[in-house]
Amino acid sequence: MARRKKIYEGKAKTLYEGPEPGTIIQYFKDDATAFNAEKKAVIEGKGVLNNMLSEYFMVGLTNIGVPTHFIKRLNMREQLVRAVEIIPLEVIVRNYAAGTMAKRLGIDEGTQLPRPIVEYCLKDDKLGDPLVTEEHIAAFGWASQQDMDDILSLALRVNDFLAGVMYGVGIKLIDFKIEIGRVYDGDFQRLIVADEISPDSCRLWDIATGRKLDKDVFRRDLGSLTDAYTEVATRLGVMPKGSTPMARPKLIN
């Protein structure tokens, strides 16, 4: 059997060359990292959950007309996606203060913001993904003004979609991060949602209890990350109730 070509190994995913030009296979690993990889663990089943959840969100976005890189899920851990040129920015949308914003501005976590706030961080692990302004982005040519208009519009559409879907299952969307990719269709180029959308890259709080159902469970040692992600997947109907993401065949005596 021919070995497939690995294109890139990231912290939570590995990318392989896809079966056709312009396609890529995303493999979701069980590796969890936080604080720029200072904290690491392997969490059995996380890759499966994120693969299924990212599929769910990307398909939903496509269905409401928000373009994404998603083509199809291949198996429990892999999905086929369009190859894109990644814009070197992490696009963060916040509805409630939390994490670095709460700390930076001295706002209590959970305070509702007057309106969704979009922030940009430069994708650079060595620098710890620093917060940048649109001035930096324009001056250093990381994205054009037209790109920034499109990115803002995509980010706010994703926010409305995700916030609504989550609200429907009793979960508050505190904030999230997306990545944007450029694709070329003939003479035209456009921007689409890429990478993944999963509890690794969102903050999700149960509306009734305030319980955290996202990667903060790992970052802050709040219990089982698999249980938290399974709860999100079960509420969305992505995983049947009572199933475990890494269920193995049982031996019958």
Q: Residue numbers of the site for ligand C5P (CB under 6 A)?
A: 90, 92, 98-101, 129, 175-177, 201-203, 215
Q: Based on CB atoms, which residue is closest to ligand C5P, 4 or 40?
A: 40
User: Please, which residue, 91 or 239, has the CB nearer to ligand C5P?
Assistant: 91
DSSP string, 85-149: EE-SEEEEEEEE--HHHHHHHT--TTPEEEEEEEEEEE--GGGT--EE-HHHHHHTTSS-HHHHH
| Nearest-CB residue for ligand C5P | 99
Which of 239, 95, 120, 119 minimizes the C-alpha distance to 169? 239
* Location of structure tokens 């690995």: 6
Residue 144 CB, shortest distance to ligand C5P, in Å, is 23
In contact, 96 and 163? CB cutoff 8 Å: no
Q: Which is nearer to ligand C5P, 32 or 81 (CB)?
A: 32
Question: How many Å apart are CA 151 and CA 178, to the nearest integer?
Answer: 10
Nearer to ligand C5P, 18 or 69 (CB): 69
Q: Which is nearer to ligand C5P, 58 or 202 (CB)?
A: 202
Q: How far is the CB of 4 from ligand C5P (least distance, A)?
A: 27
With a CB cutoff of 8 Å and minimum separation 6, the contacts of 224 are 217
Q: How far apart are CA 158 and CA 248, in angstroms?
A: 35
Nearest approach in angstroms of CB 11 to ligand C5P is 9
Three-class SS of residue 248? coil
Kindly state the smallest distance separating residue 245's Cβ from ligand C5P, in Å: 20
CB atoms within 10 A of CB 68: 24
CB of 120 to ligand C5P, least distance (A): 11
